[in-house]
Amino acid sequence: MWFRRKTNRAQTTPRPIANKVAAPSGRSATSLRRVKLPVDLLEIGMKVVKLDRPWTEVPVLFQGFILTDPGQAQVLRHYCEWVMVEDEEVRLAPVIDKLARQRKRTTAPMAETRSLLEEIPRAKATWHKTRTFIERVIRDIEQGNNNLHFQHARPIIRHCVDSIKANASAMFWMSRIKSRNAYTAEHCLRVAVFTVAFARFLGMPDEDLEIAGLCGLLHDIGKLKVPASILNKPGALSPNEFSVMQKHTTLGYDLLKQDPDVDTIISDVSVHHHERIDGLGYPHQLEEPQISRFARLVSIVDAFDAITSDRCYRDGLPTSDAMRILYSNRGQQFDTEMVEAFIRMIGIYPPGSLVELSSGEVALIVATHPGKKLKPRIEVLLDTDKNPVTPRVLDLSQRPDDTQSVILRPLPDGAFGISLQGRIQQLVAGDRP
């Protein structure tokens, strides 16, 4: 096997650059081209001649090789954003044609194969099964059981992937029901869900979604080795306490490395999800080209959930504030293109949010439209007089001239007697209003 165990990095996707190169003896001098491609467009048979980072930062043995199996391409997708490849012009032409479509992928809603009504029951069952698993892992670690088998999470995450591929909003709805007393377990679960959805939104292949979910689920596992007095301290941490807290990255890495079946990229994310693009992160102060693609992705999701969740020392901030914080730190703490794509995916009014329309009606956000942030799909639950009505779904992106169907303001969960949890229970029970 030509891969070695190593760690690291990712960068922004540039415009493709194609250059003609000399062909080997017996071939036309113009039959080969070198093209800079996003890693998601790699195909078997392409020769990889350059990476977007030093070769030493990716677990490969050779500098320059021909892709011969899907596993090789997957490793490059985990660590890199783009690579320079060499191939026949006739083979590269259709791949280059895909670039325009790929650039548009984060301006359109994610595809759905099931309605929210159809998917909510499965999403709820999957959510609770995954939470039960992570709570069991937490208990085992707290009780000193080091005989951990993290690969048992694979089939559970697979169910999450299946639900998100069918209708991501169902899992998004589940993620908005939070308990301050179960932050650690729920945080890991929410980061897993949003990481899978974000990876899919970015156009990553289906075979990478499961690994992305495992990266999200296990990224903070090292915090279970941090003393509870520090982890749950209601006030600010002292410099010494913060230094101990920072060790959760290496503690998590050590835990995951004890299981030989854990993919290298999962342990990479656990140790590097607090590294920064500007090199001021921890624990290794990695520079931009050294931080893996998956670590960059998880760092954004991790920060978003931490900002918007209630903690022992403060209440969570609104989604709009979280988006401002992420955006203001792009290019410094976070990957710029990833932050902008994440904001498009979540939207101004995330799925599960309660809003009031200009008509006075009250609705829940069903799904966002990345290219029309103020025009999500909604489910109207109260009429203009705030009386319950038979729920109906409206796609505001298809009603550009409807001045009565404009979102006036967000509402807190529970306003006018409407709660997200209550609506989920109705849908699971059969859509009883």
Domain count within the chain = 3
Q: Based on the domain organization, do 149 and 222 belong to the same domain?
A: yes
Tokens of 235: 């006030």
3-state secondary structure (DSSP) of residue 130: helix
Q: Based on the domain organization, do 121 and 225 belong to the same domain?
A: yes
Q: Give the sign of the dihedral formed by CA 325, CA 329, CA 334, CA 337.
A: positive
7-16, 171-180, 210-219, 234-243: segment of lowest average pLDDT: 7-16
CATH number at residue 228: 1.10.3210.10
Give strand ranges (E) for 18-154. 18-21, 32-38, 47-51, 65-66, 82-88
**Percentage, residues of the chain above pLDDT 70:** 91
> Dihedral (C-alpha) 378, 383, 386, 390: value to the nearest 10 degrees?
-80
pLDDT of residue 30: 54
Q: Based on the domain organization, do 228 and 306 belong to the same domain?
A: yes
Q: Are 300 and 201 in contact (CB under 8 A)?
A: no
Q: What is the DSSP string of 5-41?
A: ----B--------EEEEPPPTTS-TTSEEEEEEEGGG
* Mean pLDDT, rounded, for 93-98: 84
Q: Look at residues 293, 326, 346 and tell me which one is the last residue of a structural domain.
A: 346
Q: Based on the domain organization, do 336 and 360 belong to the same domain?
A: no
Burial pattern 353-379, b for ≥16 Cβ within 10 A else e, equals: bbbbbebebbbbbbbbbbebeebbbbb
Q: Look at residues 81, 103, 125 and tell me which one is the last residue of a structural domain.
A: 103
| Helices and strands in the chain: count of H runs, count of E runs | 14, 10
Q: Based on the domain organization, do 369 and 399 belong to the same domain?
A: yes
pLDDT tens digits, one per residue of 346-359 = 999 999 999 999 99
Q: Based on the domain organization, do 228 and 342 belong to the same domain?
A: yes
Phi, psi of 320 (to 5 degrees): -60, -40
Q: Based on the domain organization, do 53 and 134 belong to the same domain?
A: no
Q: Is 234 exposed, middle or buried (0-12, 13-18, 19+ CB in 10 A)?
A: exposed
Question: What is the pLDDT confidence band of residue 104, given thresholds at 50, 70 and 90?
Answer: low
Q: Look at residues 318, 346, 374 and tell me which one is the last residue of a structural domain.
A: 346
Nearest alpha-carbon partner for 178 in 306, 369, 54, 282:
306
CA distance 334 to 337: 9
Residue-number span of the structural domain to which 362 is assigned: 354-429
Nearest alpha-carbon partner for 340 in 330, 350, 325:
330
Q: Based on the domain organization, do 89 and 126 belong to the same domain?
A: no
> Among 5-9, 150-154, 292-296, which range has the highest average pLDDT?
292-296
Q: Based on the domain organization, do 206 and 275 belong to the same domain?
A: yes
Question: What is the pLDDT confidence band of residue 32, given thresholds at 50, 70 and 90?
Answer: confident
Q: Based on the domain organization, do 215 and 339 belong to the same domain?
A: yes
